[in-house]
Amino acid sequence: MCYIDSCAKKYVTMVEINKDFIKKFQAEKKKKDFEIIFNFYAPKIKSLLVRNGADVTLAEDIMHDTMINIWDKIHLYNPEKGSFSSWIYTIARNNRIDLLRKKSSQPYTDISEIDIPSDNENSQDIVERKSLTEQVKNAINLLPEKQRKVIELSFINDMTQDEIAVELNIPIGTVKSRMRLAYQKMKDNLKDITA
């Protein structure tokens, strides 16, 4: 168990968690490899939960449950369908809904677990799939501040449209229109980046 102390403070970057690394982990499922995934994502998932109102003890607990789900479901991850971070995000999101909000006594069947084909992928979509998260990150950074804020409050702070309206002191219609504009702009920015 020597790697626990020696690696706990190791700075893990996304470069280490590349497609080959994930493929290798899917095939071998070694605890030592999972530690690299843990060291990168666990502090971020915990951070997300704390920002959503969990105290640090509960956040640590839900984060562990989330990491167990990631371990259990790793064979389901398909890089052709999206980035590893977006896959981790959906698992963290579902755990947050089921465990943190405690609004549900039964989890709903998540769309990500049903095999649904998207509309036929064109060359643009295929280009998008390559290093998508990096491109999306750049596209989000190009958003006007007001549009970025509503998206951030929704994704990071788990706020409903009503809650965002109260937080920013704007009508709910404005929240919705900023969300739509942000999405369209992000889509356009993606085209510019991938062009």
Is 59 a binding residue for another protein by CB under 8 A? The answer is yes
Count the helix, strand and coil residues of the chain and give each as a percent rounded to the nearest 5: 70, 0, 30
Least CB distance to another protein at residue 157 (A): 9
Is 62 a binding residue for another protein by CB under 8 A? The answer is no
Residue count, binding to another protein (CB under 8 A):
88
CB-wise, 1 or 195, nearer to another protein?
1
Work out which of 22, 58, 81, 149 binds another protein, going by CB under 8 A: 81
Query: How far out from the chain centre does Cα 81 lie?
Result: 14
Kindly write out the interface string for residues 113-152 of this chain, putting x where it contacts another protein by CB under 8 A and - elsewhere. Answer: -x-xxxxx----x------xx--xx--x----------xx
Work out which of 1, 15, 27, 195 binds another protein, going by CB under 8 A: 1
Least CB distance to another protein at residue 89 (A): 4
Q: Which of residues 148-177 bind another protein (CB under 8 A)?
A: 151-152, 154-156, 158-161, 172-173, 175-177
Contact (CB, 8 A) for 90 and 112: yes
Q: Which of residues 14-53 bind another protein (CB under 8 A)?
A: 14, 31, 35, 38-39, 41-48, 50-51
Taking CA 22 as the corner, what is the angle to CA 73 and CA 62, rounded to the nearest 5 degrees?
45
Exposure of 192 in the CB half-sphere (CA atoms within 13 A)? 12
Least CB distance to another protein at residue 104 (A): 6
CA distance 129 to 133: 9
Q: DSSP letters of 32-85?
A: HHHHHHHHHHHHHHHHHHHHTT--HHHHHHHHHHHHHHHHHHGGG--GGGS-HH
